[in-house]
Amino acid sequence: MFGSETGVFKTSYAADMALYPLPVARRTMAFLALFFLFAVPLLFSVYAVTILNLVLIAVVGALGLNILVGYTGQVSVGHAAFMSVGAYTAANLIARLHAPFWIAIPAGGGMAALVGAFFGIPSLRIKGLYLAIATLAAQFIIEWTINHVTWISGGVDASIQVSPPVVFGMALETQRQLYFFLLFFAALAVTATLNLVRSRVGRALVAVRDQDIAAEIIGINTFRYKLAAFAISSFYAGVAGVLYTYYLGIANYEQFGISVSIDYLAMIIIGGLGSVLGSIFGAAFITILPEATRLFLKHFGGMFLSHGAILNLIPNIRLILFGSLIIFFLIVEPEGLNRLWRNIRNYFRIWPFTT
Amino acid sequence: MPDVSWRFVSILLANGVLVGSMYALVALGFVLIYKATDAINFAQGEFVMFGGFLAAATADMAGLPWWAGVLAAICGMIALAFCLERVVLRPLLGRPIIAVIMATIGLASVLRGTAVLAFGTGVQSISLPVGSSPFHLGPLVLPPIEIVGAGVSLVFLAAFAWFFLKSRLGVAMRAVADSQQVAMAMGINVRRYFALAWALGGVVSALGGVLWGAMLAVDNQLALVGLKVFPVIILGGLDSILGAVVGGLVVGVAENLSAGFLDPLVGGGTKDFVPFVLMIAVLMVRPEGMFGRRRIERV
């Protein structure tokens, strides 16, 4: 998997901007594609596939948040609320009009983008901490609205049942079937983000992040790009919300609380701000962490504690571990898992000639 | 409006003012830290919760009188704030704003987990010697704990205002807040004042924890008080003590009026909703708040 290059031979900008700069990258991608398409569904247990499905959904959401926070530098603490907008839009379309997935998913994303752009309007005037608090307000306002307006939330318990997506006449009911569905959208989101960030729009977003006044002076319409970042990010969030609704079979506002917004922020911090690969790492890490804690305590906690005590312990240990990891990464490795991965890769790139 | 009686309105207003001054106390902890160190404490609510737990645990479990609990809460929170400043916040000096926000969010999560592990999941109570029979003041009927809470809050707000305006330490702290470099050049030990600001934040949180804990109850939900701090400080201005007071009163009154008049119309819950709507409006019109300092940005 590790290729070695002997120098830089690029002679055009196109070559420099290519998605796969080296043949080895193309081979790695092919290997990964084969692995996820064939090895995973054939070899993994249903439990593992279920967790992997959650990771795939989180990848879509984390990519969206990273476009906003990592690439554009606009802090948002209301990502989960935008997911819930997508989820309820799609759930209403599916339950009332029997919309197929190829309408429900873009509609959920589009609606979330509209709402996201609206709550992004304050970003014209405020930034940093103030913006974070404004998005926190968005989180509560959206949550309250969905919970209290029965036309949106469908009455009892504010939850709406949805039927599984139908692809080519086949309803995707099991987790294994859903896996391919989610894999497709996760791959689509990764490709779209990779292409977005190396485009004109992506460079404008990075300029806004680095110094928005300077960006405005060199002719970037700051407000438009900030709003665009909010809209794009919320579109991803909306799609992730719809996917999660399909995964659960039900849309419920309790699944999109403030703690989920914080989970997504943790994903991109731990994975690496402003990095596509980092979003994937972070999404996997934060999704698997609670499961890993639970399994670890179940298997090894029994040596010291009773079964009941462990069950009480698990959610709290999880909270502490989660918080400490965020702080640890912020202090020790601010660029996150992506940086660690790059360090390892760079080491092996010229291996065995490293010192 | 069908039957708006003045009695009803005045009860709502009085309640709003009392609760609002208790919000102001919690917001003061936030403002103190922001003013001196430019750090944003998203864990303010958890600080309050922790202070409440400490007081309840000392008084309840160890069987000590109530003032020992308050004292223990204050000492414990000072120690905790010192440690956190040293271990978590100091390495993040000069880093982008999201780093500090996320660090305190992480801190909030750690504190919430630790509180349950250390003090158990049960609901605890703090009993202050204030009695429970309602207090009659003309047409108003007010719970005594709210009056005591408001009184203590106002005393401390006044004390901190004096501290910042007149005392040597307070003036030095304002200098640090204004410009760290100039303060250093004037021979002020900036790091010491950062620690001091966090310690004061700890004291205020401990008091807030005792008062709110006595009024509601001490459990995990106490941390939710911290969420109300954001509308308060945005309304008043992030770096203004007077702003914290006025913002607290406005939020207290607004949420009580909405609970009185809007709740019957939409079926409850507006209390947690109206302050945030108010806040978004303020952010769009006047982001620096009523008394905050406008920051001029240069490239």
Q: Which pLDDT tens digit goes with each residue over B93-106? A: 778 778 888 899 99
pLDDT at position A13: 78
Q: Is the pLDDT of residue B4 over 70?
A: no
A198, exposed or middle or buried, with CB in 10 Å at 0-12, 13-18, 19+?
middle
A chain contacts of residue B269, beta-carbon cutoff 8 Å? 144, 147-148
Nearest to A51 by CA among A175, A149, A141: A175
Kindly determine whether residue A316 and residue B230, on different chains, have CB atoms separated by under 8 Å. no
Residue of B98, B227, B282 to mutate, interface with A, max A Cβ within 10 Å: B98
The single residue listed with the structure tokens 């005594």 is B144
Helix (H, G, I), strand (E, B) or coil at B218: strand
Of A61-70, A235-244, A260-269, B115-124, give the lowest mean pLDDT range. Answer: B115-124
Kindly determine whether residue A125 and residue B287, on different chains, have CB atoms separated by under 8 Å. yes
Question: What residue in A sits closest to B110 (Cα-Cα)?
Answer: A320
How many CA atoms lie within 13 Å of A167's alpha carbon, on the beta-carbon side? 11
* Residue B220 DSSP one-character state: G
Q: Is the pLDDT of residue A280 over 90?
A: yes
Q: Is the pLDDT of residue B71 over 70?
A: yes
Q: Which domain holds residue A94?
A: 49-349
Kindly determine whether residue A134 and residue B40, on different chains, have CB atoms separated by under 8 Å. no
Alpha carbon of B68 to those of A166, B59, B145, B193: distances in Å? Answer: 65, 7, 19, 28
Reported confidence tier of residue B15, pLDDT bands at 50, 70, 90: confident
Average pLDDT, chain A: 86
Q: Is the pLDDT of residue A265 over 60?
A: yes
pLDDT single digits (tens) B149-175: 888 888 888 888 888 888 888 888 888
Q: Is the pLDDT of residue A69 over 50?
A: yes
Nearest to A114 by CA among A254, A258, A227, A256: A227
Interface residues on B facing A, Cβ-Cβ cutoff 8 A: 40, 88, 91-92, 95-99, 101-103, 105-114, 116-117, 121, 227, 230-231, 234, 238, 266-267, 269, 272-273, 276-277, 279-280, 283-284, 287, 297-299
Kindly determine whether residue A133 and residue B234, on different chains, have CB atoms separated by under 8 Å. yes
pLDDT at position A303: 67
Verify cis geometry, omega within 30 degrees of 0, for the bond prior to B143: no
Joined tokens for residue A311 = 């069950």
pLDDT at position A302: 66
A286: in domain? yes
| Whether B261 contacts B209, CB under 8 Å | no
Question: What residue in A sits closest to B295 (Cα-Cα)?
Answer: A126
pLDDT single digits (tens) A152-184: 777 667 788 888 888 888 888 888 889 999 999
Reported confidence tier of residue A278, pLDDT bands at 50, 70, 90: very high
Q: What is the mean pLDDT of residues B247-273?
A: 82
- Beta-bridged to residue A250, according to DSSP, are A161
For the stretch B183-214, what's the b/e string if a residue is b when 16 or more beta carbons lie within 10 angstroms of its beta carbon? beeeebebeebbbbbbbbbbbbbbbbbbbbbb
- Cα(B229)–Cα(B204) distance, integer angstroms: 13
Kindly determine whether residue A331 and residue B287, on different chains, have CB atoms separated by under 8 Å. no
pLDDT single digits (tens) A23-36: 777 888 888 888 88
A31: in domain? no
* Residue B27 DSSP one-character state: H
Q: Note the ipTM here.
A: 0.84
Q: What is the mean pLDDT of residues A65-75?
A: 91
Instruction: Give the count of beta carbons closer than 10 Å to the beta carbon of residue A351.
Output: 10
- Cα(A208)–Cα(A204) distance, integer angstroms: 6
Reported confidence tier of residue A1, pLDDT bands at 50, 70, 90: very low
For the stretch B232-267, what's the b/e string if a residue is b when 16 or more beta carbons lie within 10 angstroms of its beta carbon? bbbbbbbbbbebbbbbbbbbbbbbbbbbbebeeeee
pLDDT single digits (tens) B177-221: 877 788 888 888 888 888 888 999 899 999 888 888 888 878 878
Please name the residues in contact with B22: beta carbons below 8 A apart, sequence gap of 6 or more: B146, B149, B150, B153, B208, B211, B212, B215, B248, B252
A2: in domain? no
pLDDT at position A312: 74
Question: What residue in A sits closest to B289 (Cα-Cα)?
Answer: A130
pLDDT at position A156: 64
| CATH number of the domain to which A86 belongs | 1.10.3470
Kindly determine whether residue B277 and residue A122, on different chains, have CB atoms separated by under 8 Å. no
Residue contacts between A and B (CB atoms, under 8 Å): 129
A236: in domain? yes
Q: Is the pLDDT of residue B14 over 90?
A: no
- Beta-bridged to residue A314, according to DSSP, are none
Kindly determine whether residue A137 and residue B279, on different chains, have CB atoms separated by under 8 Å. yes
A345, exposed or middle or buried, with CB in 10 Å at 0-12, 13-18, 19+?
exposed
Q: Is the pLDDT of residue A5 over 70?
A: no
pLDDT at position A104: 92
- Cα(B36)–Cα(B200) distance, integer angstroms: 11
pLDDT single digits (tens) A114-132: 999 998 887 777 777 788 8
How much of chain B exceeds pLDDT 90, in percent?
Answer: 7
Nearest to A36 by CA among A153, A163, A132, A179: A179
Kindly determine whether residue A313 and residue B106, on different chains, have CB atoms separated by under 8 Å. no
Q: What is the mean pLDDT of residues B81-90?
A: 88
A chain contacts of residue B267, beta-carbon cutoff 8 Å? 148
A7: in domain? no
Instruction: Give the count of beta carbons closer than 10 Å to the beta carbon of residue B111.
Output: 24
Q: What is the mean pLDDT of residues B40-44?
A: 86
Joined tokens for residue A98 = 């029997």
Kindly determine whether residue A331 and residue B92, on different chains, have CB atoms separated by under 8 Å. yes
Q: Give B63-97 as a DSSP string.
A: ---HHHHHHHHHHHHHHHHHHHIIIIIGGGTTS-H
Helix (H, G, I), strand (E, B) or coil at B142: strand
Q: Specify the number of domains making up chain A.
A: 1
